[in-house]
Structure formats: C-alpha cells, structure tokens
Structure 1
Amino acid sequence: MEFPADAFLPGPRVTIPGAVGGSLSDLTFAAKDLFDVAGHRTGGGNPDWAATHPVPTTHAWAVQALLGAGANLVGKTVTCEISLGILGFNAFDGTPPNPAAPGCLPGGSSSGSASAVAAGLCDIALGTDSGGSVRVPSSLCGLYGMRPSLGAVSMEGVCRQAPTYDTVGWFARDAATFARAAEVLLGTPLPAPEAAGLLVAEDAFAFADPDLADALRPAVARIGAFIGGATATSIAEPGELEVWASQRNILQRAESWQTFRGWIEAVNPRFGFNVARNLTMASSITSEQVALANVARRRVVERARLLLEGGALLCTPTTPFTAPPLGLPLSELDRYSARIGLLTSFAGLVGLPQISLPVATIGGKPAGLSLIGWRGADARLAAIAKALEANA
C-alpha cells in the first residue's frame, strides 16, 4: 500500500511568523492537519472533513502557544484520516516519507509531523497521540516525542478522536530543543532530574523483535545508572497485556464512533478502506463490551499506580519493531498495528506521560526506548531526556 507524498499538505505552505523576541524565536514548527490555524481550513486528512467544516477563526491553543513564544509556523502536515491510523498512510493525502528509513512507513497518525522534523524541514512539530500516534512515529523516524499526561496540554482547537485518550504531543530531533518546547507547552520550567529508579518491563521487551530488544539494552543500563538504578519488573500478569490491548481497542474505537457518528450519518463521507472498515467495526461495539473493557481499564490503573505513583519510571520499547517497508498488504499492516498496541495501550489506558528516546539503530533503521511516569511527570521526563543528551 503506497501513496507517496510530502510531509506537508499539497498546495501553498501555511506560514505565520512567531512573536518577536520570544524564547523560541530561533525555531520553526509545523502542525498536524488536525490543529486549527486561523484563516486556513483544517483538513483532518479527509476531503469531506475539509469540505464540511468551517474555516477556523482562531488558532488551536498549542499553535498559539508556540507562536506566542516566538516559533515560526512553516506548514501543516499530513495526517492519517481523522487521526485513525498508526502506521502513517493516507489514501487521499499520501504517505509522508521516512527520512530515517527510506522506503519505509513513517508511523502515524502524526506521520507528516514526524517526517518534517526528521527531514530537517522544521525544528519542532505538533502531533496528537490517542493510541500511539506521536510515540510510534518518534520511534520509527528516530525522534524525541512525547505523549503527555491526559489534559496536560490543551486540546482546544484540535480535531478530537477519543476524548479519554486524546493528547497533544510534539517532536524534535534533539532533546534540548524538545525540552524548550516542553517548557512552553507544559507551562512550567523543567525540574532537576530525580533519581527515583527505573523499572524495566521485561514482559514488554519480550514482545519486541529480539535484535531490537538487544539494541536497546545499553541505553536501559545507562538510564538506570543515571536515575538511581534499574530493576526488572513486569507490567502485568502473563496474558494480561494482550487483554489490555484488546480492551483499549474497544474503548478507543467506541469513543471514536461517538465522536464522528453525527458527521458520518449527516455527510456519508468518503474513507479509505481501512478507515471505513474500522469505523464500521466501531459502530457495532455494545455498551456491554464497553462496560467489560472498563473493568480491565480499572485493573490497569491499579497496576500503574502501584508501579509508578512513588516516582519510579517504567522503561519499555516504544515499538516492537523498526519501520515496516512500504507496499505491504493490508492484512500484514494489521498485524504490525496489533503488535504496536501491546506496547502503547498501558499509558493510554491510564492517561500517563510517555516519552520516546531515539537511542538505537538496527540495520540502519532507528528504534525508540520509552520512559513512562505517573500522571504529571511530563516535565520530569523532558528534563531527563535533556540531561541524558547533555551527558552523552
């Protein structure tokens, strides 16, 4: 499945200068085409979404925050349709290239944002992450990227998908730039890194390709030594991660159907097959299925609280593999997507912050290592990434 495209939307670039003299005035940024930019249509990666929604008159909060800090907007980037995708392809706007792994998928749905940063076309890019759409392209494109705590960065002016999962995240090529953006978007100075210990989720590492897991181990040891020592643990009991991923899928799809149902029923929009199929499945999820999935979610919250509320950080591979090649059939892409969900569901179900660090390369392709903290640890994660880079 190949729809080659650029990172940016077709047509003239959307450009807006940042405020003079701001803390980010030497930086450029791009925004995923789910973020409102005043005077420019928000396309959502779907032609019928663009055609049936009014042109915004105000900027999304995150766009305004970066502009207000002096960063210059240099374009809007391709997204999977209405954010429903994890590998980065779009039947209408195309698949952005992966500069770090040519000929491979960039990861989605914030695919264009990751592609633009990886290619050096901007310093920072805004994305959204519900099921992994910042974390996954960060790993596959060799970038720093974060899914913040739920609600830590305002979603005002952003196309929603699943409200109890949706977050605004961002990408950068280096940790120092990432941290500067973090201070603006999180609204707080970064703290000094704390030595509260690293929990290494061995069950998560077991889901990764063996060569990828091995390639991440030196970084795990280095981070453990930096923050107070590493301890092996398991996120879940045997078999639970698979259950949690399937139940997260039910909950997120059920929420996405409620988000888009009114528009779909009124407009009967065009979709690529994979998006139409997933929305059709979402429309058949029952209230009983949702109730059962919420039981699993409460179990995940209890486990996360036990592991992380005391300040320790959890370490996992961000993705279980490096970037898949372009041109794979949909059935194979589905298998890749399902494997991703085994690693991304934990933070999503609990609303936890998770940062992906570009620490390894396997066969010339990057792989990310994730640090997950308890709710509110966002600035701390960015500070650790910055300190690790400075002491490399």
Structure 2
Amino acid sequence: MNVVEVSSGIDGRAEIDCPGEVPAGLLEAFDAYERALLGNDVAVLDDLFAPGEHTVRGDGTHLLIGHEAIAGFRSGRSVIPTRRVVRILVRPIGDDAALLMAGTLAATGGATGLQSQLWQRVDGAWKVTAAHVSLPAKAAPAPLGIDGGIDGSIWRIVGTPLVRPAKDGVLSGHTVAVKDLFAVRDQAIGAGNPTWLDEQKPQERHAPAVAHLLDAGAEITGIARTDEFAYSLAGQNAHYGTPPNPAVPQGISGGSTSGPATAVALGQVTIGLGTDTAGSIRVPASYQGLVGLRTTHGAVSASGVHPLAPSFDTVGWLTRDAATSLRVAQVLVPENNGGRRAERTIVLPTVENLAAPDVAADCAARRAGLVAAGILPALAETDLPGEVLESWFTAFRTVQAHEAWQANGAWIEAHPGALGADVAGRFEIAAKVTADQAGAARSVLAEARAQLRDLLDGAILVLPSSAGGAPARDASPGQVEAERAGTLRMTCLAGLAGAPALSLPLLRTADGRPAGLCLVGAPGTDHQLLQLAVSGGLA
C-alpha cells in the first residue's frame, strides 16, 4: 500500500490501495475535487461531475439524477465541514473508467465517512458519473445508546446537565465528561469498581479542576467510566464492559480515561476530563483519533482526584481539536508556567522502534514533513540506549506499583475477588514491592528525571503515542498486554520527566487505524505545545 498526497484540509496524505497502476490523471482529478469541496468552489465541482441526465449522486437522504439536479442541490450548500481523506481504494474498470472509494475523517474526529465515485473519461477529462456519500451518524444531543438508554460502558451517570456552569465564561457552550476519579459535589467517586462505589459517600465539594471548568462556563454532562482504579491502558472494565471506539468499531477504546474518550469521539461532549499516569490520556487519544494532553506534573491540582501513583498522576483532557484543548489549558494551566521555546526536535530511534514498524515509519515521515514545513524546529537526533530505557522503565513501574498499593492496597485486601483479573494481577504484583525496593527505584527516577529534563530543555521530543493502533476487542489478554508493554516504555518518558505530552491524530497503521503523534515538551511548555498544534493546523 502506497502513501499519496491529496488535499484534505488537515492532513495532506492518504494511503492508496490499487492493484497495478492508478490510471493517469485520476488522482489529480480527485485532488481537484477535494480542493473544490473543501473550498466550496461550486463551479469546479459542477465541472468535475459529468454533464447529462444520467449522472447520479446519492446519500442517506437524497438521490439526485442528472447533472442539473446535482448542481442545484450543491448550490444551496454554504459550509463544507473540514475533513481529511485517510484512505483511497482504486479499482480500474478498463482504460477509461475507475471506481474510487475514499475513507474520510472529520476534523472533529469520530467515526469514518465513505464516498464512492465512478470516474470516467469524458472528452479526455476525468469526470464523476456516479457518486454515493455515506457519512457517520451524528452524535445524539444526549449520551443515549441505540436502545434509548444510557450506554453503561461509557457513562456511570448523566444529567441534562448533571452540573450546570457556575457562570458564563470562555468555555460557555462546552460540555464535559468527567472521569470517575474526580470529586463532583453530591456524587460519589466510583473508581471503575461497583464494590468500591457502594461504600462511598457523596463528595462535599468539586475537585478544583472540575470547579475551574464550571467557573469558566462549561457544564458537566456526566461522570464517565474508567478502568478499575485507573490501573490499565486498555479501556476494558470487567464490570461495566468496554466503551466503543467510533474510529475503530472492532477495536478497544483505550484507557484508563476510557469513558470520557469515547464520549468525546462520539460527539456526546466536547471535553473529556481525565488523568494520565502512564498514558491514560494519550493512549485512548491515539486509538480514537483525538487530541489528548497530559499536563506538566503538578500544573493542575490533583486534589479531589482518587490517586493511582501520585509521583506521576496528572490531570489532562481529550478533545476533538487542538483549539478546544488550548481553551481548556487557558482555564486550567497557568499561562507562564515555565519552559523556554523549543529550538530543536528530538528523535530517540531506540524508543521509537518499540512501536510497530508501520507506525514508526509513519512517525518518521510525519516528523520530517513537519520539520520541512517549519512547523517543528530542526531535527537533532540523539538516542537513549536500550539498557538505560529498561532501567528507567523498571524503576518507573516499581514506584508506580508501590504507590498504587499504598493508595488502594488496604481496601483491596479487605475485598478479595472485587477486581477484574487483569487489574487484580497488577495489584498482586504491586503488593510485593517493598519500601526498600521503592526507595532504590526513586534514586534511579531522580537521575532519569534530571537527564530527561536536560534533554527536553529547549526541545520537543516527537514519538508515537502508542505502539500501534487499537487492538481488536476480541484480542487475547496476552496480545493486549504485549501492546501495553511496548506502549508503556514510550509513554513513561513524560511521566519520568514530569513533562507535558500532547497526542495528535496524525498517524495511521497500515490497515488504516488511527494512531497518535506525541509531542513531549519541557515541563511548563503545555501552552507552547498546544499553540504549535493550533498554528500548524495539526488537529
């Protein structure tokens, strides 16, 4: 499968699947069609559709027959949603005709659209003689499932809204799904486990992050699911199920900010408030084609948030575009929280090679393109020896496990059998970490943090957000764990440094699943990363 340049308004590249050679001039004609569509250039669109009464165009609502009818329909359109073409399938039909099918993603993320076009040469020029457009279903105005009820794999509780904003502000009109680790006044914290939830009392006040969003005009739609005690990256909850992944219907959602991520991807909310300890914002963003920010450690108060590993826990959020994420940052993160402007782009080949080959290759190509375009600063390749990474990762996991047990171990011991098998297995390992082992690991962490912060000073580290795309929902536990292991060795670097990390929906696997491109900056450069993404048109 090849990669070609097409005009998409966002992304500029698409994979092409064609047995043999693509007919000469066809992709150029399709590119002209895309440019005209996104620019709402009606004259060019009319010219690219074949004249006559036999040209047809259909969608879920209209069946238009004849060039005149199609042109009349198009003339009434004034706004064309920005989207990108992610895959093109071409099937030649003789020398002068070809079926072209293009998969598209909206700029706001979510499910994939499909357009099918029959192109034929008419007087030597390629024209569309038949077209059908299939758009993803629009999100319901409330988080309802197909049966009219709340999807319990996504939501624990919703309202209309659940909490109204304190006043109007810069986030007025925005809606929020809150991960079930945050204190929401008059609601209990469920932490992804029904036994735990049954024992909790309603919170007396909002967590500061929740309160700040409400003060800025956002409303809380509801409390969304998390993996149990946030100790997972898969999004698979043994008690409540796996939230759907609109971008990969057969794939898992990613976790542990699983419910908020899916709510954002489905268009049920505009902001998913969550936490990221070892990738719990970045991984679901990567799997679902979203923008996900892990903030500088400590930049946003974690008060009122049930902990996993406080040395690494950060507040973060998911959105469908970078501009919305920046607006949230302007509310939650101090504007001048440190960090000088980046002057170089860092590459760590050993770390990057932990990703699947197709994702690693796309990352390298994408990064080179962004540098060439002047969106990212000049490349400064260095590396991190594999044995050093492994030492740092082991220390990270040791401290994470020790702190997770300190935060939750007493309750877990008092409630045998309350956890799903995967999370129970992690806590079983965590219970065996001694204070001496954790202390030795902290010494390694201190050295790692110092080295990484020195590396990131004045730089942006660019690498994949996850090792691959979303694994299948029916993947074996071993397959999911293998994906998790590779991903964690990449995602742990931001946690080790206490640094911000921004996942952008810019990569794809060979079979078309989304994957994230991650920008890791020096501590305090949260706003800089988001401003780069906005000004560069990256999401």
TM-score, length basis structure 1: 0.93
CA spacing shift, 1:206–1:265, aligned 2, 3 Å: closer
More helix by share: 1
Contact in 1 for aligned 2:464/2:516 (Cα 8 Å):
yes
Query: CA–CA distance in 2 between the matches of 1:339 and 1:361?
Result: 17
Match of 1:37 among 184, 192, 195: 184
Q: Tell me: CA distance 1:262–1:19, structure 2 relative to 1, closer, same or farther (3 Å).
A: same
1:248 aligns with 2:419: no
Alignment of 1:213-228 (within 5 A): 213-224=360-371, 225-228=374-377
* Structure 1 position 158 matched with structure 2 position 305: yes
Could you list the per-position Cα deviations for residues 300-329 of structure 1 after superposition, in whole angstroms to 9, with x for gaps in the alignment? 1232133112x1111111111110001222
Q: CA deviation at 1:6?
A: 3.6
Q: Post-superposition shift, 1:226?
A: 1.9
Q: Tell me, what secondary structure is at the counterpart of 1:226?
A: coil
- What 5-or-longer segments of structure 2 have no aligned partner? 1-150
Larger radius of gyration: 2
Residues 246 and 265 in structure 2, CA contact (< 8 A), matched pair in contact too:
yes
Structure with greater strand percent = 2
Q: Does 1:238 align with 2:353?
A: no
Instruction: Tell me if structure 2 keeps the 8 A contact 1:109–1:133.
Output: yes
Cross-structure match for 2:463: 316
CA distance in 2, matches of 1:207, 1:136: 15
Residue 356 in 1 paired to residue 508 in 2?
no
Identity %, equivalent residues: 37
Partner of 2:481: 334
Aligned residues: 386
Tell me how far 1:190 sits from its aligned partner.
10
Distance 1:386 1:376 in 2: 18
Q: Which residue matches 1:303?
A: 451
User: Deviation of residue 260 (structure 1)?
Assistant: 0.9
Q: 2:419 aligns with which of 271, 283, 288?
A: 271
> For residues 308 and 426 of structure 2, what CA distance do their matches in structure 1 show?
13
Distance, in Å, in 2 between the alignment partners of 1:334 and 1:228 is 35
Question: In 2, are the aligned partners of 1:48 and 1:269 still within 8 Å (CA)?
Answer: no
Contact 2:302–2:315 (CA under 8 A) maintained in structure 1: yes
Residue segments in structure 1 that go unaligned for 5+ positions in a row: none
Which of residues 265, 274, 279 is equivalent to 1:118? 265
SS of alignment partner, residue 369 of structure 1 = strand
- In the TM superposition, residue 206 of structure 1 has moved relative to its aligned partner by 1.1
CA distance in structure 2 between the aligned counterparts of 1:38 and 1:238, rounded to whole angstroms: 46
3-state SS in 2 of match to 1:299: helix
Tell me the residue number matched to 1:198.
345
SS at match of 2:408: helix
Distance 1:211 1:148, change over 3 A: same
Please name the residue that 1:294 is paired with. Answer: 442
Displacement, 1:265?
A: 3.8
DSSP-derived class of the 1:231 partner: strand
2:296 matched to 1:149? yes
How far did residue 330 of structure 1 move?
Answer: 1.8
Name the amino acid aligned to 1:126. L
Residue aligning to 1:127? 274
Residues 5 and 39 of structure 1: CA distance in aligned 2, closer, same or farther (over 3 Å) = closer
Larger relative contact order (CA 8 Å, sep ≥ 6): 1
CA contact (8 A) 2:159 2:221 kept: no
Counterpart of 2:333, as a letter, is: L
Cα contact 2:235–2:253 (8 A) shared by 1: yes
* Aligned-CA RMSD value: 2.2
Cross-structure match for 1:89: 236
Structure 1 residues 149 and 11, CA gap change in structure 2 (3 angstroms): closer
Superposed, 1:15-26 pairs within 5 Å as 15-26=162-173
d(CA) in 2 for partners of 1:366 and 1:190?
31
Q: How far 1:10 sits from its partner (Å)?
A: 5.9
Report how far residue 379 of structure 1 moved: 1.5
Q: Is the 8 A contact 1:142 1:358 kept in 2?
A: yes
Distance, in Å, in 2 between the alignment partners of 1:128 and 1:226 is: 28
Comparing 126-135 with 285-294, greater Cα deviation is found at 285-294
CA contact (8 A) 2:265 2:290 kept: yes
CA distance 1:13–1:300, shift in 2 (3 Å): farther
Q: Give yes or no for contact 1:13–1:76 (8 Å, CA) kept in 2.
A: no
Match in the other structure for 2:156: 9
- Residue identity opposite 2:519 in structure 1: L
Partners of 1:195 and 1:154 lie apart in 2 by: 26
